Amino acid sequence: MPDCRPPLASPSRPRHVLPPGACDAHCHVFGPADVFPYAEGRSYTPPDAPYEAMAELHQRLGVERAVVVQANCHGSDHRALLDALARSGGRYRGVALLGADATESGVRQLHEGGVRAARFNFVPHLGGAPDPAVFDHVVALIAPLGWHLCLHLDGAMLPELLPRLAALPLPFVVDHMGRLKAADGLASPAMRALLGLAAVPQAWVKVSGIDRIASGKRPFAEGVPFVRALAEALPDRCLWGTDWPHPNVAGDMPDDGELVDMFFDACPDAALRQRILVDNPVRLYGFE
């Protein structure tokens, strides 16, 4: 039985129109479980959120491209992800979860299927920091293919991790604004660490998960100043995403139409929006 809630059945249509080629740089596909079973030993069981529902949402929002991130509940079985990428006709790219058993041939197969990054979870509720040897093993496999890393971590971890990350031979992306807490303010250590990534050439930040940094009450307006500050600090290394279907949300379930409008509130400059929504994903993920 699912132990987390489904996304809203009928999210609103955004008031604002996304630019052509706009990319949702962080979303997930779950199941369907009778076709793509969830992993044994998973930390949560979601309700199905299949490719068809994701594609319908993106059409509703005006999203033309997306980055589908392999979910913890599917573990290292990437069949649901690869199916979604294949069915997108090149409009979607993928982010894999790789471990000690990852091989050069397996990574090559993922690359041919449209995967362009590997993700590591550092947060406690998804198992905590990875084994350093496994981390190094995966980096060695993916760097020759021009991939990058997506890092799901707490922003407070950044000062300790940054020397190692800055020495990596590939770019890295901090997901969900480092899961900082808006209540701690723009001058918090976590936010200062994120803004400091502007000085690290291979560092990127996703301004996704605004609901996760806010109080949990829609429309999550207290997150807007953080999105604005990060977009202005890293205009060429910032990405935006919905985080649909919003697994393990503790507060209000986000309305994805509202999330689009909140991004426009946070980023009123059309040229900057074009970079974050279109140009930056093209450059990092290799969209045509």
**Domains in the chain, start-ordered, CATH in brackets?**
23-282 (3.20.20.140)
Tokens of 15: 């008031």
243 is catalytic: yes
- pTM, two decimals, is 0.96
* Residue 191, phi then psi, degrees to nearest 5: -70, -40
What phi-psi label fits residue 188: left (phi over 0), alpha (psi between -120 and 50 degrees) or beta?
beta
Please tell me which residue in 175, 243, 255, 256 is annotated as part of the active site: 243
* 142 contacts 97 by C-beta, under 8 angstroms: no
Q: Can you point out the beta strands (E) in 82-230?
A: 92-96, 115-121, 148-152, 172-174, 203-206
pLDDT tens for the chain, residues 1 to 288: 888 999 999 999 999 999 999 999 999 999 999 999 999 989 899 999 999 999 999 999 999 999 999 999 999 999 999 999 999 999 999 999 999 999 999 999 999 999 999 999 887 555 567 889 999 999 999 999 999 999 998 877 888 888 889 899 999 999 999 999 999 999 999 999 999 999 999 999 999 999 999 988 999 999 999 999 999 999 999 999 999 999 999 899 999 999 999 999 999 999 999 999 999 999 999 998
Contacts of 277 (CB under 8 A, 6+ apart): 18, 19, 21, 22, 23, 240
- Choose among 4, 10, 85, 66: nearest CA to 38: 4
